[in-house]
Structure 1
Amino acid sequence: MSHFTHIKTRFQNLFYLEKALNRLDISHTEQEKSGITTYHKSLIIPQSNGYNIEFAWNGQEYELIVDMSFWEQPYPIESFIDKISQQYAGEVIIGESQKIGFQPIKYQQNADGSNTLILERWNNEKVMAKV
């Protein structure tokens, strides 16, 4: 008997969620879903046992839908969500910072599991000084 679990997340942007999964080398596909008045995409992470993991839009965020009886990932679900959350946060910081002129110059994963992100922005305005 399967028992699907819906786990709330803070993933609200599909673009950044996909980038986070790509950075973690987590294979996934998009699936289009439509209802009577809604249309959205879900992300499916295939598992070899056929019980796939899904990030589905619930109207506010992409929640994780999984049958815990058939979890087949190399680490516990809490670690799985933590890893994706950390990468998602980094992708949001990079993407939103680029919108205001910052460019990432360093993105490094540290031995302790944390990430270091360095951004820079150059001011292209000419500065004149009278001496």
Structure 2
Amino acid sequence: MSHLSRIKTSITNKEILKKTLKDLNFVCIDKKINNKNDYIINSKNLIIQQNGKDLFAFSWNGKEYSLLADLQLWNMNIPYTKLLEKIIQQYSYNTILKESAKYGFENINRKTLEDGSIQLVIQRWRS
């Protein structure tokens, strides 16, 4: 019997999360999760697919998203912890770009360093 594990995150913005997952080559489907192991049935939930198969989900609890996955049946070629790190890193990057654009900053350069961190250069021209 499978069991869904719920991993808490600090992700709060659905649109940025959807863009992040698209950047990482996943397909997001807005869907109510209706599972007896999942007590939250909410239209803000996202089912994540790749190659037409459901892989995991993000469940909204009213404040933030949690990653829902059956860790016993996890069959991706990357550990879920590393995948979650990649998602959170890309989500943070997308959040910075969106928020900095509100104040007139533009993305000038992005460089991924050897340790996997991202170096981002933004600038704003004053007139």
Q: Same fold (TM over 0.5)?
A: yes
**Bigger radius of gyration:** 1
Relative distance call for 1:67 and 1:94 in structure 2 (3 A) is same
Residue pair 1:101, 1:121 contacting (<8 A) in 2 also: yes
2:43 match: 40
Post-superposition shift, 1:52?
A: 3.1
- The correspondence for 1:95, drawn from 93, 98, 117, is 98
Q: When the two structures are superposed, what TM-score results if normalisation uses the length of structure 2?
A: 0.83
Residue pair 2:6, 2:68 contacting (<8 A) in 1 also: yes
Post-superposition shift, 1:5?
A: 0.5
2:109 match: 106
Letter in 2 for 1:29: C
After superposing on structure 2, the runs of 4+ consecutive aligned residues of structure 1 that deviate more than 6 Å are: none
Distance in 2 (CA, whole Å) between partners of 1:96 and 1:14 is 15
Letter in 2 for 1:31: D
Relative distance call for 1:104 and 1:23 in structure 2 (3 A) is same
The secondary structure found in structure 2 opposite 1:107 is strand
1:80 match: 83
1:31 match: 30
RMSD, aligned CA: 2.3
Q: Flag structure 1 segments of 5+ consecutive residues without an equivalent.
A: 125-131
Post-superposition shift, 1:42?
A: 2.0
Post-superposition shift, 1:33?
A: 3.5
Residue pair 2:48, 2:54 contacting (<8 A) in 1 also: no
Post-superposition shift, 1:84?
A: 0.6
Q: When the two structures are superposed, what TM-score results if normalisation uses the length of structure 1?
A: 0.81
Q: Flag structure 2 segments of 5+ consecutive residues without an equivalent.
A: 34-40
Q: How many residues align?
A: 120
